[in-house]
Amino acid sequence: MSAPLRLMAVHAHPDDESSKGAATMARYVAEGAEVLVVTCTGGERGSILNPKMDRPDILENMGEVRRQEMEKARQILGVQQRFLGFVDSGLPEDENEPLPEGCFALQSLEAASAPLVAAVREFRPHVILTYDDNGGYPHPDHIMTNRVSVEAFEAAGDPDRYPGTGEPWQPLKLYYHMGFTRERFEALHNTMTERGMGSPYADWIARWEDRPQKWEVTTRVPCAEYFEIRDLALLAHATQVDPDGFWFVCPRELQEEIWPTEDYHLARSLVDTTLPEDDLFAGIAAGVTPACS
The string of pLDDT tens digits covering residues 199-209 is: 888 888 887 76
166: alpha, beta or left? (left if phi > 0; alpha if psi -120 to 50)? left
Q: What's the pLDDT at 210?
A: 66
Average pLDDT, the chain: 93
Q: How far is CA 8 from CA 70, 73, 87, 173, 215, in A?
A: 16, 16, 21, 11, 21
Residue 158 among known ligand-binding residues: no
Q: Residue 290 pLDDT more than 80?
A: no
109-123 helix and 140-155 helix, angle to the nearest 10 degrees: 60
Q: Residue 64 pLDDT more than 70?
A: yes
Q: Residue 286 pLDDT more than 80?
A: no
Angle at 123 between CA 129 and CA 290, to 5 degrees: 80
Average pLDDT over residues 168-184: 96
Residue 142 among known ligand-binding residues: yes
Angle at 197 between CA 194 and CA 199, to 5 degrees: 85
CA atoms 255, 193, 250, 280: torsion sign: positive
Question: Where do the structural domains in the chain lie, given as residue ranges?
Answer: 6-178+216-269, 181-214
CA atoms within 13 A on the CB side of 265: 17
CA atoms 147, 153, 158, 162: torsion sign: positive
Q: For the segment 13-32, what is each residue's pLDDT rounded down to a tens digit?
A: 999 999 999 999 999 999 99
**CATH number at 6-178+216-269:** 3.40.50.10320
Calculate the dihedral angle through the C-alpha atoms of 234, 79, 107, 135, rounding to the nearest 10 degrees.
-50
pTM score, whole prediction: 0.94
134, with CB counted inside 10 A (0-12, 13-18, 19+), is: middle
Residues near 27 by beta carbon (within 8 Å), at least 6 away in sequence: 221, 223, 225, 226
Residue 210 among known ligand-binding residues: no
Q: For the segment 193-229, what is each residue's pLDDT rounded down to a tens digit?
A: 999 998 888 888 887 766 778 899 999 999 999 999 9
